[in-house]
Amino acid sequence: MIKKMLLTAGDKENKEGLYHVKLTMLLASVGMGLSICYTLVYFFLTEATYAVVFNTAITAFYSLTFVLITKRYYFLAKVWFIGVLTLQLFFLATVFFTKDTGFHLYFLSIPSITYLLFSRNEKKVKFVITLISIALTYICQYVAFPGFSIVLPGYLLHISYLSTIIVVVLGQSWLLKVFADDLISAEEKQKKMAITDHLTGLYNRRHLFVLAEHCIKGSIQDNKDFSIVLIDVDYFKKINDAYGHIVGDEVLKMVARSLSQNLRDFDVAARYGGEEFILILPHTSVREAEEIAENLRRSIESLPLLVNNRIISLTISLGVAALPYGEEITIDSLIERADTAMYTAKERGRNQVVVWDEIIALGNCDSYNNTQKI
């Protein structure tokens, strides 16, 4: 039953979020457990039959929270839970016991619980519940309610009051921790968004240059191999024109996934712009980079892309450039070499890997200037 509710709460249509739903269920379960405990105490240790009946009813009310969640009434479930909790605390603090037990101080925890259960967009509800909680705390503290039914010994009153303060303080501490965790999580999310391409999930162009500059400087200082591979999706504009931008976006995401799955742990893949991707390959010679590029080419070529019940052929052209020994070079110059090699691959018929060194060896490094970028 609980598993079914969690699956239902996790549906994409649930705007409240799985976290808030799970927390509501957890707190409702705790409320039910405490109500059952109170019911047993009243039944076996007192003669307050009305208290037994009331807490039995409260237990049933808490259970309705789960019913509302099952029916996908998430907002109503949260409001209902807060309402039942408020009712229970009010009766405990005014009808069954005196204010000397400190039960009315639990109202100070309701704003904390409210801010945990409700989303940031539900500010009015949180504000209203907070005002009600403060008002009820004041009423229970300063308004006399005659006819108390259950009288506790002095030492139990003292224990009850102290335990209430401890629970309220622990609740506030928990809330502060949750807020701190949320701030840290939001900060990390913002940092990740600043360096990530939103469509493919790879690093973006700006962060690419940060990483590449760091890697190339380290490779030059340590005299280590360093290579890059520039990748372009063949006939991408035609795919966009023929099948629409949604299919085009899916193509880019498929290529990005393939890159991520086929690279080594220390390699870096990024979206360079448009339908172009770039790989940073530290400690990699030009021949190793060429082999990696060829494996990627074959992997992309074998990807099944089904659109309107027909399979679209997907290929890429790749240009490889490596850090030359004994030569000072910037990352911009290295990328320019890889770019020249990539467009040479496209000029030769696409769906192939070309290495910058081969262009130099053939003496046609100017072919890039005469190549139309498609």
Catalytic residues, which ones? Answer: 275
- The CATH number assigned to the domain holding 333 equals 3.30.70.270
What's the mean pLDDT in 8-14? 42
Residue 87 resides in a domain = yes
| Least trusted range by pLDDT, from 3-7, 66-70, 73-77, 168-172 | 3-7
Q: Per-residue confidence at 1, pLDDT binned at 50, 70, 90? A: very low
**Are residues 348 and 354 in contact, defined by beta-carbon separation less than 8 angstroms?**
yes
The pLDDT mean for the chain works out to: 85
Domain boundary among 163, 193, 223: 193
Residue 38 has pLDDT above 90, yes or no: no
Within a domain: 200 = no
255, 144: one domain: no
Domain-embedded: residue 199: no
User: What is the DSSP pairing of strand 353-355 with strand 268-273?
Assistant: unpaired
Q: Which of 215, 227, 296, 226 is nearest to 263 (CA)?
A: 296
Cβ within 8 Å of residue 31, ≥6 positions away:
58, 62, 81, 84, 85, 88
Q: Does 361 lie in the same domain as 334?
A: yes
- What's the pLDDT score for residue 11? 40
101 and 20 within one domain: yes
Last residue of a domain, one of 127, 158, 193: 193
The pLDDT tens digits of the residues spanning 113-171 come to 898 888 878 889 999 999 999 999 999 888 877 655 676 677 777 887 888 888 888 87
> In this structure, are 310 and 333 located in the same domain?
yes
User: What's residue 162's pLDDT?
Assistant: 87
103 and 226 in a common domain: no
pLDDT of 15 strictly over 50: no
151 and 222 co-located in one domain: no
Query: Are 182 and 328 found together in one domain?
Result: no
Phi-psi region of 196 (alpha: psi -120 to 50; beta: other; left: phi over 0): beta
Range of the domain at 86: 2-193
Are 111 and 129 contacting, i.e. CB atoms less than 8 angstroms apart? yes
- One domain for residues 99 and 233: no
Q: Determine the pLDDT at residue 143.
A: 82
Tell which of 193, 222, 241 closes a domain: 193
Task: Provide the number of structural domains found in the chain.
Answer: 2
Task: Give me the pLDDT at residue 322, please.
Answer: 94
In this prediction, residues 215-222 reach a mean pLDDT of 86
Kindly state whether residues 179 and 220 are assigned to the same domain.
no
- For the stretch 295-338, pLDDT in tens is 999 999 998 787 777 788 899 999 999 998 767 788 999 999 99
Note whether residue 280 is domain-resident: yes
294 and 251 within one domain: yes
More confident residue, 55 or 1: 55
